[in-house]
Amino acid sequence: MAIILPTVLASIKAGVGIIGAGKIAILPFLLAALAYFHYDQFDPENRPVDRKVVDKEYDFVVVGGGSAGSVIANRLTEIPSWKVLLLEAGGHETEISDVPVLSLYLHKSKLDWGYKTEPQTEACKAMIENRSSWTRGKVLGGSSVLNTMLYIRGNRRDFDHWVHQGNPGWSYEEILPYFLKSEDQRNPYLARNKYHSTGGYQTVQDSPYSTPLGVAFLQAGQEMGYDIRDVNGEKQTGFAFFQFTMRRGTRCSTSKAFLRPIRLRKNLHISLWSHVTKVLIDPESRRAYGVEFIKNGKKQIVLARKEVILSAGAINSPQLLMLSGVGPAEHLQEKGIRVIHDSPGVGQNLQDHIAVGGLTFLIDPPISLLVNRLVNLNTALRYAIKEDGPLTSSIGLEAVGFIPTKYTNQSDDWPDIEFMITSTSTPADGGTQVKHAHGLTDEFYNEYFSEINYKDTFAVFPMLLRPKSRGEIKLRSKNPLDYPLLQPNYLTDLHDVWVMREGAKAAVAFAQTESMKRFGTRFYSKPLPNCKHLPLFTDEYWDCAVRQYTLSIYHYSCTAKMGPAEDPYAVVDPELRVYGVAGLRVIDASIMPTITNGNLNAPTIMVGEKGADLVKYYWLQPSTRRRRDLRAVYNVRLGATCPNITSI
Ligand SMILES: Cc1cc2nc3c(=O)[nH]c(=O)nc-3n(C[C@H](O)[C@H](O)[C@H](O)COP(=O)(O)OP(=O)(O)OC[C@H]3O[C@@H](n4cnc5c(N)ncnc54)[C@H](O)[C@@H]3O)c2cc1C
């Protein structure tokens, strides 16, 4: 008991500190219960150690310990002679970020960078200043600590399409082994099929908890003519229960999966609360040789013998490239940054997934996930002791449906809408956390939702899978601590509006199936405040509706896309090396040339796995071959001169 008490108190302090006291009444109790029942496996001894002082030089410096960066740090340190430093701007995850049902409380908390986009002209009209809240993990494990843990790999055509865009080595057949390499599939039926594997670092499991609505969601999908299938398997079109990056009912972030098990490797140093401000690039040789970072208010420099690897995510990797002189020349000059390499594609090609928010369906029986009904002392204890119950529910996300609208080829198995179906809804918490996390205005929320506060409901979020609108990320200034300018240009391509409109109609049809009607389901059909002038259920009404509660699903990507040397907008080559600068790679969600057909965490982990292998392959071959290989890349790059590579 003498050992447990300080742990309990420390745990309560940390958890309350992260999301603020008073937000959830049972929080201190939950934390105490967790600390008490889990004290034998309690954190401090399991967490990676923060290096107070880093060495002068490493073989590799990895920037960002998120979904991709954690994987890279793990795989590179498998080579005992390589010394790796992982620099992460945030700190450790907490017991609160572990609890699946509480993930929305992490938005705008200390674990979130707290980005906001520029005001949108065609979307986000129900949001404060028409801005989308771009939640992003600032913590070891990155956005895998804040996400809703849905494990979706994408569609085989996504990767084959990457190859068609000039990226050999990234076809579905070639990347499938990397999905399998990291996976530890806990569903024994799925584990048996050739699309899954066990024994990898990343645990993937079914939710331990579901409401009676879960099964009905699948039956409704069947009634609509879809098969129930493993959507991460041979085909994607169809319905399934979601699978999650959880372990024993709690979050299994990439930090937990990939870093904790190897925290005692001597050749891995991790420095937390270390904000990287610049990649150091020799302007003559155009070779990256280290990075500059700020820790404890002090600017420091660390050198990289072999490579600097940017895994800071799709917002910060392009930001760092631009701050370091790699980006669109005119833009950099305008900001007073010396241009080292004119790379017009840096920060361009921004893609994200958005969904139609607010499609709410009222039901009669009291079976939905109502937080104030289900989160109580009993369920907190159930979570702490048995690792199941409603607290293990990822905010009610139970089932997924991949469906094609009339705007895509029906027989292609490349659906353009993903239904994220949840046994709760925006007003189910009475306008507290969801409204805040999504940045909805009080006026919109009060007029539209307040009359159904705390009612039993479910919701369908139809997500647009292959957006045509493209955005960009630019620097606001050359100050590395200034947040970059985020311009997603949501719904500026009409195609996106039409597909989302069809997605919304399909959601209404889904709720009209016999399987859903038996719960007394009715669509909450109150006209949206800004669309009242249009007749309900017409195309015009839906086109207006999708522009109101336009919800980002936080899949920002493609801002340092890989591509062939002939493509002037390609930032990295298919081996993820930055064009125009030696010794520098980007390995994270930014390198995707086009966004994948599903949620982004699993494919980003795959990019980390494959990226690490590319680094190994490169450095473990004889140096003469290495130079020849690199020269070949630059010889075909139009207008790019080969940097000095004799030092490689
Ligand atoms: C709220 C939310 C919900 C989501 N839900 C899902 C889901 O259910 N399923 C799914 O598949 N995907 C989901 N995603 C998306 C998915 O988690 C991300 O696409 C994925 O984690 C991105 O990985 P990354 O490695 O590119 O970036 P990140 O994981 O964001 O990692 C980047 C890391 O770099 C660090 N960093 C940034 N700048 C610097 C700097 N200058 N110096 C040092 N460190 C720096 C950051 O702090 C961060 O730790 C969600 C994302 C969010 C935010």
pLDDT at residue number 374: 84
CA distances from 144 to 76, 135, 469 (A): 20, 11, 26
pLDDT at residue number 29: 67
Cβ 144 under 6 angstroms from ligand 1 = yes
Cβ 308 under 6 angstroms from ligand 1 = no
| Average pLDDT for 284-311 | 98
Q: Among 472, 450, 461, which residue's Cα sits nearest to residue 557?
A: 472
Q: Are 589 and 383 in contact (CB under 8 A)?
A: no
- CA 190 to ligand 1 centroid distance, Å: 27
| Average pLDDT for 606-614 | 98
Concatenating the DSSP letter of every residue in 192-248 gives TSTT--SSSSEEEEE-S---THHHHHHHHHHHTTPPB--TTSS--SEEEE-EESEET
pLDDT band at 520 (very low <50, low <70, confident <90, very high): very high
The 10s digit of each residue's pLDDT in 538-589 is: 999 999 999 999 999 999 999 999 999 999 999 999 999 999 999 999 999 9
User: What amino acid is encoded at 585 in this protein?
Assistant: R
Domains belonging to the chain, first-starting first, are 4-45 (no CATH), 57-93+255-351+557-636 (3.50.50.60), 114-131+208-241+353-469+481-552 (3.30.560.10)
- CA 143 to ligand 1 centroid distance, Å: 3
Atom of ligand 1 nearest to the CA of 134: 53
| Average pLDDT for 171-191 | 98
Cβ 154 under 6 angstroms from ligand 1 = no
Atom of ligand 1 nearest to the CA of 152: 11
∠ Cα 387 388 390 (to 5°): 130
What does the block give as tokens for 216?
Answer: 């009905």
∠ Cα 214 218 461 (to 5°): 75
pLDDT at residue number 46: 83
The pLDDT of residue 521 is above 50:
yes
What does the block give as tokens for 83?
Answer: 């010394």
CA–CA distance, 350 with 487 (Å, rounded to integer): 8
pLDDT at residue number 44: 46
Cβ 317 under 6 angstroms from ligand 1 = no
Report percent pLDDT > 70 for the chain.
Answer: 90
Cβ 601 under 6 angstroms from ligand 1 = yes
Total count of residues recorded for the chain? 648
Helix (H) or strand (E) holding 395: none
Cβ 341 under 6 angstroms from ligand 1 = no
- CA 137 to ligand 1 centroid distance, Å: 5
**Beta-bridge partner residues of 239:** 228, 401
CA–CA distance, 590 with 332 (Å, rounded to integer): 19
Catalytic residues: 555
pLDDT at residue number 2: 44
Judged by DSSP in three states, 482 sits in coil
Backbone φ and ψ for 181, nearest 5 degrees, come out as -60, -40
Cβ 589 under 6 angstroms from ligand 1 = yes
- CA 1 to ligand 1 centroid distance, Å: 38
pLDDT at residue number 12: 54
Q: Are 72 and 270 in contact (CB under 8 A)?
A: no
CA–CA distance, 109 with 20 (Å, rounded to integer): 8
CA–CA distance, 463 with 417 (Å, rounded to integer): 5
- Mutational pocket test of ligand 1: of 71, 147, 278, the residue with most ligand atoms within 8 Å of the beta carbon: 147
- Mutational pocket test of ligand 1: of 601, 605, 607, 609, the residue with most ligand atoms within 8 Å of the beta carbon: 601
pLDDT at residue number 52: 94
Nearest CA, atom 35, ligand 1: 64
Report percent pLDDT > 90 for the chain.
Answer: 86
- CA 599 to ligand 1 centroid distance, Å: 12
pLDDT at residue number 629: 63
Cβ 397 under 6 angstroms from ligand 1 = no
| Average pLDDT for 442-460 | 98
pLDDT at residue number 339: 98
pLDDT at residue number 638: 38
What does the block give as tokens for 71?
Answer: 């994987």
**499 marked as part of a ligand binding site:** no
pLDDT at residue number 3: 46
What does the block give as tokens for 566?
Answer: 């002939």
pLDDT band at 103 (very low <50, low <70, confident <90, very high): very high
Cβ 202 under 6 angstroms from ligand 1 = no
pLDDT at residue number 646: 40
The pLDDT of residue 357 is above 70:
yes
Atom of ligand 1 nearest to the CA of 397: 8
Q: Among 522, 527, 591, 606, which residue's Cα sits nearest to residue 556?
A: 591
- Rg (alpha carbons) of the chain, rounded to whole number: 24
The pLDDT of residue 605 is above 90:
yes
CA–CA distance, 236 with 418 (Å, rounded to integer): 10
Cβ 156 under 6 angstroms from ligand 1 = no
Helix (H) or strand (E) holding 303: strand 298-310
CA–CA distance, 87 with 333 (Å, rounded to integer): 28
- CA 558 to ligand 1 centroid distance, Å: 13
- CA 246 to ligand 1 centroid distance, Å: 16
pLDDT band at 633 (very low <50, low <70, confident <90, very high): low
- Exposed, middle or buried, 466 (CB in 10 Å: 0-12/13-18/19+)? buried
pLDDT band at 496 (very low <50, low <70, confident <90, very high): very high
- Mutational pocket test of ligand 1: of 143, 155, 463, the residue with most ligand atoms within 8 Å of the beta carbon: 143
The 10s digit of each residue's pLDDT in 403-417 is: 999 999 988 999 999
The pLDDT of residue 455 is above 70:
yes
The pLDDT of residue 345 is above 70:
yes
CA distances from 348 to 328, 474, 568, 591, 632 (A): 9, 8, 12, 11, 26
Nearest CA, atom 37, ligand 1: 312
pLDDT at residue number 53: 96
Q: Among 394, 446, 368, 465, which residue's Cα sits nearest to residue 98?
A: 394
Nearest CA, atom 3, ligand 1: 147
pLDDT at residue number 639: 43
Between 270-279, 458-467, 468-477, 617-626, the lowest mean confidence (pLDDT) is in 617-626
pLDDT at residue number 353: 98
**62 marked as part of a ligand binding site:** no
pLDDT band at 640 (very low <50, low <70, confident <90, very high): very low
Q: How is residue 600 annotated by DSSP?
A: S
pLDDT at residue number 17: 63
| Average pLDDT for 458-466 | 98
The pLDDT of residue 636 is above 50:
no
Find tokens 């919304």 and name the residue.
504
Q: b/e string for 281-317 if b means 16 or more Cβ within 10 A? A: bbeebbbbbbbbbbbeeeebebebebbbbbbbbbbbb
Other CB atoms within 10 Å distance of the CB of residue 189: 10
In this prediction the ipTM stands at: 0.99
Task: Output 381 or 220, whichever has higher pLDDT.
Answer: 220
CA–CA distance, 329 with 408 (Å, rounded to integer): 38
